[in-house]
Amino acid sequence: SPNAFLPTSVREVEARGWEELDVILFTGDAYVDHPAFGAAVIGRLLEAEGYRVAIVPQPNWRDDLRDFRKLGKPRLFFGVSAGAMDSMVNHYTATRRRRSDDAYTPGGRAGQRPDYPTLVYTRILKRLYPEVPVVVGGIEASLRRLTDYDYWKDRLRPSFLVESGADLLTYGMGDRVVVEMARRLHNGFNLKRLSRLPQVAYLADRAPEGACLLHSYEACVESPEKFGENFTRIETESNRVEASVLAERVGDRYVVVNPPYPYLTEAEMDRSFDLPYTRLPHPRYDGKGAISAYEMIKHSVNLHRGCFGGCSFCTISAHQGKFISSRSEGSILREVERITQMAD
């Protein structure tokens, strides 16, 4: 039944008898209700805490923006993610040629998301609803929380916080931080209080006391060596159990990155994977072709998160962290059992 999924339309919201939504998530991917897809995980975690959550997958950013208006404004915040894959890797080959298909869209159709959806979606939401907090997260925002080298434009870019106008950036796996954020906003805390949370980045007028000061964005643009030194500092901190607050000046402000939460306990990992996922693409895609990213992973079982490796070609440790979080045997076997009962 459609009610088995998180709602994606006004009709589905009304079918649940909801007058108002607490959180609306925008994602560059199709909505697949499976633990390998970030928007589904975040939505299910918030739902389990009693919040009314909807997902707007692959909104049309080119027209009258009705996809951004259709569900109105949420009581707590908008969440924005480019999807489970960096949008530029999704769109271009290593030789900067445009790809002709998209593994996260039904039928592999290309062109269902813009380049850098994090920036595009956030700017639209800020224009339409300037007073509603917008929180960006997912792989794209996560890896661009500080100055980064943009391979496609061959230049350094400032943090996505600066370029998007988002109120807050969450990095890494959002399980704890998103639930805690919703709780604080629900309890009437303002955004200032949210900036004290672990695993968030925000813009400030000055660097917090005791923060590890990185070279400024402008200094990095002038000197590739300084950019390299920043990277070494960031990488070193990511290996520490007790990491420092990082601060990087951009213009007359500072991007401040708080250290991450400690890695998830076994019980927290189990809870995330035991949520009532249907493990299927949303019925709105029926007859529209296969979603190849889903076809590849639909019967796979994830045993842990995090990686201590830090290989230069891989972003897992930059996103999931250097410390391993494992599930219990019971949780893994329950998931395997559920998969054996799937129709296919």
Would you state the pLDDT for residue 1?
65
Give the residues across from 257 on adjacent strands: 201, 246
d(CA 34, CA 13): 20
Query: How many C-beta atoms surround the C-beta of residue 251 within 10 A?
Result: 11
Residues of the chain scoring pLDDT < 70: 1-2
What pLDDT is stored for residue 2 in this prediction?
60
* Beta-bridge partners for 200: 170
Which stretches of the chain are assigned E, i.e. beta strand?
Answer: 23-27, 32-33, 53-57, 77-81, 134-137, 148-150, 155-157, 168-170, 200-204, 212-213, 246-250, 253-257, 280-281, 304-305, 325-326
State residue 295's pLDDT score: 96
Six token digits for residue 48 = 């389990």
Closest CA to 272 of 83, 50, 53, 48: 48
pLDDT on residue 313 = 87
- What is the Rg, in whole angstroms, of the alpha carbon atoms belonging to the chain? 20
Using DSSP, how many helices (H) and how many strands (E) does the chain show? 15, 15
Query: CA-to-CA distance for 166 and 202, rounded, in angstroms?
Result: 9
